[in-house]
Amino acid sequence: MNVQARSAQDPVKVQLPHTPLPAYYADEAEHTRYLRRIFDDTAPDYDRIERVLALGSGPWYRRTALQRAGLAEGAQVLDVGIGTGLVAREALALIGPRGQLVGVDPSPGMMGEVALPGVELVTGRAEALPRPDASADFLSLGYALRHISDVGAAFDEFHRVLRPGARLLILEISKPESAWGTAALKAYMRTVVPVIARVVARRKSTTPELWRFYWDTIEACIAPATVMDALRAAGFVDVRRHVELGVFSEYTATRGH
């Protein structure tokens, strides 16, 4: 199992979000370099492919999830793993001109595709956020949980940068609970998606690989209950999971006082 206890006193701390995938990288240092390369390389294709394959996770879904999580007009938002800005775009529409949004991502290629006026972009990782304590009242993490090297450290960081009472939203794709649902999604992700990606992509080699890797990380990912336990272990309260279509997980939580 890919849950790693840090100590006997601290049993719910989680490190890796999924079991290691030796088909893609040999160790954690190579994993970080692999992620950086694959996201930098596929950045120019990312939005186009995401539109084709949306699987329900397009602009409407992201905006609805942000609303469900309680994102309010005027909020100061930290969007971690901003990528090309797909969550950030919807957040900006909800917070309006009185709000502010800072995006953090380790991939300069992905952030180079962000075309959102007024957004501050900062290079960094969820595990060590380059942001001051208590500086945001909403934090979003869209489809990046599976790429974090240390989930427990990232959740501690989320707790640190949020103000008391602030809200958190983590969007992630989860393996369906039923075996047939998993088999159907796996078949779609491993066969149909790489073919579509190859047709639509400008980067013919790396883009289909990204979508293969995408499924493998979903299949190997820690269970939703483990994600929720890890949020509680970091000090979050009111931790909940809302699921759409059996696969789109929305984890929400509040930073306690």
Ligand X SMILES: C[S@@+](CC[C@H](N)C(=O)[O-])C[C@H]1O[C@@H](n2cnc3c(N)ncnc32)[C@H](O)[C@@H]1O
* Sites of contact with ligand X (CB under 6 A): 35, 39, 80-83, 86-87, 105-107, 110, 125-127, 142-144, 147-148
- Tokens 């595990």 correspond to 127
Report d(CA 42, CA 89) in Å as an integer: 20
Least CB distance from residue 81 to ligand X, whole Å?
3
Query: Three-state DSSP class for 103?
Result: strand
Length of the chain: 257
Q: Which is nearer to ligand X, 32 or 100 (CB)?
A: 32
Provide the token pair at 162: 């949020």
**Cα torsion angle, 131, 125, 122, 172, sign:** negative
* Interatomic CA distance for residues 16 and 27, integer angstroms: 12
| Identity of the residue, 54 or 192, whose beta carbon is nearer to ligand X in the bound complex | 54
**Closest residue by beta carbon to ligand X:** 83
Tell the smallest beta-carbon distance from residue 136 to ligand X (Å): 15
Euclidean distance between CA atoms 147 and 96, whole angstroms: 30
- Give least dist CB 45 to ligand X, A: 12
Nearest CA among 51, 76, 79, 49 for reference residue 65: 79
> In whole angstroms, how close is the CB of 6 to ligand X at the nearest point?
18
Q: How far is the CB of 194 from ligand X (least distance, A)?
A: 16
Minimum CB distance to ligand X smaller for 35 or for 234 = 35
Torsion of CA 251, 32, 133, 232, to 10 degrees: 30
DSSP per residue, 194-254: HHHHHHH-SSTTHHHHHHHHHHHHHHTBPPHHHHHHHHHHTTEEEEEEEEETTTEEEEEEE
Give min distance, CB of 211 to ligand X, in A: 10
CA dist., res. 227 & res. 170, Å (int): 10
Q: Whose Cβ is closer to ligand X: residue 142's or residue 176's?
A: 142
Q: Which is nearer to ligand X, 35 or 71 (CB)?
A: 35
Q: Where are the beta strands (DSSP E) in the chain?
A: 76-80, 100-105, 120-123, 136-142, 162-173, 236-244, 248-255
Shorter beta-carbon distance to ligand X: residue 102 or 148: 148
Q: Residue 11 or 37: which CB sits closer to ligand X?
A: 37
Report in angstroms how near the CB of residue 9 gets to ligand X at its nearest: 26
